[in-house]
């Protein structure tokens, strides 16, 4: 037998879920409630006690109702993931404020729009990450696993090959700033010849 399940959430402990409950109860007879108190929507669904319990509880044919789609999360990607999980289980999702209902053509169209927004958000995240990487490279910051570079070997290779700083950086897979530091590093003392060593003893 299918059930009507409601989910309510507030971000801080001094807020109440009562308004959300009233909005839902005026339109639907709810069989079971799940709630998260003082839990930010930026926290992934799997890490929210109430929502994760709901996802484990629902069965095919059930309907999940929220007062607004942002109760499921503020991150478009996470919201889409949650809705996809429910859809895969054969569960309908209804959001009162947006009129979001997966069982209707309009709801399915809104689902498509949500997917487009999630993809746009992913691309924006990638763009910000790439910008950060390029900035770090320009500033000579180490990226990923720390590389152990022998400054003397870098400087010697550059000198032996009459290479530019950029060519040396490409050869060793390091930043130009790292090459400059390697070439400026104090050089180890040269070994003295046997005759001179004996003279100093």
CATH 3.40.50.1390 fits 4-119, yes or no: yes
**Residue pair 88/29 in contact by the 8 Å Cβ criterion:** no
Active site residue 40: no
Tell me: the pLDDT tens digits for 49-95?
999 999 999 999 999 999 988 888 777 777 888 888 898 999 999 98
| More confident position, 6 or 40 | 6
Q: What is the pTM of this model?
A: 0.56
Q: What count of other Cβ atoms lies within 10 Å of the Cβ of residue 83?
A: 25
Give residue 147's pLDDT.
Answer: 52
Q: Which of 2, 3, 11, 81 is catalytic?
A: 11
Domain segments of the chain as ranges? 4-119, 140-184
């Amino acid at each position: 037998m299918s059930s009507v399940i409601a989910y309510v959430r507030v971000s801080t402990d001094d807020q109440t879920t009562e308004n959300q409950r009233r909005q839902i109860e005026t339109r639907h007879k709810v069989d079971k409630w799940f709630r998260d108190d003082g839990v930010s929507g930026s926290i992934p669904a799997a890490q929210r006690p109430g929502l994760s319990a709901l996802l484990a509880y629902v069965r095919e044919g059930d309907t999940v109702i929220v007062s607004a789609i942002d109760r499921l999360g503020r991150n478009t990607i996470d919201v889409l993931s949650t809705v996809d999980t429910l859809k895969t289980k054969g569960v309908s999702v209804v959001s009162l404020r947006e009129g979001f209902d997966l069982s209707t053509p309009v709801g399915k169209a809104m689902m498509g729009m949500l997917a487009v927004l999630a993809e746009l958000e992913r691309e924006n995240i990638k763009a910000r990450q790439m910008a950060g990487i390029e900035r770090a490279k320009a500033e000579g910051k180490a990226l990923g696993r720390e590389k152990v570079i022998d400054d003397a070997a870098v400087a010697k290779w550059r000198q032996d090959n009459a290479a530019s700083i950029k060519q040396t950086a490409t050869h060793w897979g390091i930043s130009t700033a790292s090459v400059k530091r390697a070439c400026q590093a104090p050089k180890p003392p040269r070994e003295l010849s046997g005759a001179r060593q004996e003279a100093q003893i």
